[in-house]
Amino acid sequence: MIKQNIEIASVVISIICDNKTLGEKLFSQYKDFFSRKKAVLDFCINSKSRCQFLNRPSGICLRRHGKNVFLSSRGFDLKICFAPLKALINFNGDLKIFDQALRLLYSQVLPIFNGLLVHGAAIADDKGAYLFYGPSEAGKTTVSKMAERVDKTVLTDELAAIRKIKGQYYLFGTPFWGHCNGPRRNMGKKLISVLRLVKSNRFGVVEAKPIALASSLLQSIMNFENNSGTNQRLLNAASDLVAMVPTKEIEFRKTDNIWRKIA
């Protein structure tokens, strides 16, 4: 058995693996997020035969039972208990499958700590942090590559963590990346700007109604639970974020330097 604490958005979990060799491979993916802080939950891993997960659909299946959430897909079964807080996964040993499950775990746990996982690029400079969000192919990787060229710090190009701490929103780097391959940074900065990416033939920052921005942000929050209660809680969280942090749309082309408009 092998154990390692990791920290994302200042929320620490303790990963406990029943197989030392597998555990060392898993942990190496998150070495930049190792932590010595006290964990808020134990995440126990049981490695199972790949055959156990054959003939399953590729999508995510989620169900609730009391204070437990069960998530499953091709390659894993994940159980999250909320009282007391702990998690257990059976999976097929594939590192990418485990990474998918870890994203799901944090998407469920972060809201307990006033946090969210958002499909977006997180960029930082000496002024603060910027969140660029939008659907697949909206331009998150493009924006991240632009940022690298103008000496901004890319915290992630795919899945960013947000937390409200003492009345202020902070944007954090995560180990969850897309097409870019920059250094992973376990750091957070005050969130000073939220921008919805819109590919266009025009170039400029566009004002939009707060309710429209909150609704679009809701679509980018990592969530597989489609019920009215959860959707309303997430919409409330998105609305609060939009009310507290300057949020706009930015229309751009691939060749545009968006930092001329926002920084």
Q: Residue 205, SS3?
A: strand
Q: What is the pLDDT of residue 263?
A: 61
Same domain flag for 177 and 90: no
Q: Is 78 helix (H, G, I), strand (E, B) or coil?
A: strand
Both 92 and 59 in a single domain? Answer: yes
**Residue 51 tokens, joined:** 């055959």
- End position of a domain, from candidates 113, 144, 176: 113
Q: How far is the C-alpha of 128 from the C-alpha of 122, rounded, in Å?
A: 11
Q: Which of 154, 159, 23 is nearest to 98 (CA)?
A: 23
**Residues 237-240: contacts with CB under 8 Å, at least 24 apart:** 237/111, 237/116, 238/214, 239/210, 239/211, 239/214, 240/164
> Between vectors from CA 170 to CA 79 and to CA 137, what angle results, nearest 5°?
70
Whether residues 121 and 97 share a domain: the answer is no
Q: Are residues 13 and 100 in the same domain?
A: yes
14 in the same domain as 133:
no
Instruction: Provide the residue-wise pLDDT of the chain in tens; the chain has 263 residues.
Output: 899 999 999 999 999 998 999 999 999 999 999 999 999 999 999 887 666 776 777 789 999 998 999 999 989 999 999 999 999 999 989 999 999 999 999 999 999 999 999 999 999 999 999 999 988 888 898 899 888 888 899 999 999 999 999 999 999 999 999 888 778 889 999 999 999 998 888 888 888 899 999 999 999 999 888 777 788 889 999 999 999 999 999 888 777 778 877 76
pLDDT given for residue 153 in this prediction: 94
Same domain, 57 and 130: no
pLDDT at 4: 98
What is the predicted pLDDT for the residue at 52?
73
| Residue whose tokens read 């997180």 | 122
Write the DSSP symbol of residue 137. T
Last residue of a domain, one of 59, 92, 113: 113
Host domain of residue 34: 2-113
For residues 63 and 119, state if they share a domain. no
pTM of the model: 0.92
User: Do 241 and 136 have their domain in common?
Assistant: yes
Residue pair 162/140 in contact by the 8 Å Cβ criterion: no
pLDDT of residue 50: 64
Q: How many domains does the chain have?
A: 2
Task: For the chain, give the longest Cα–Cα distance.
Answer: 56
Q: Domain boundary at 60, 79, 113, which?
A: 113
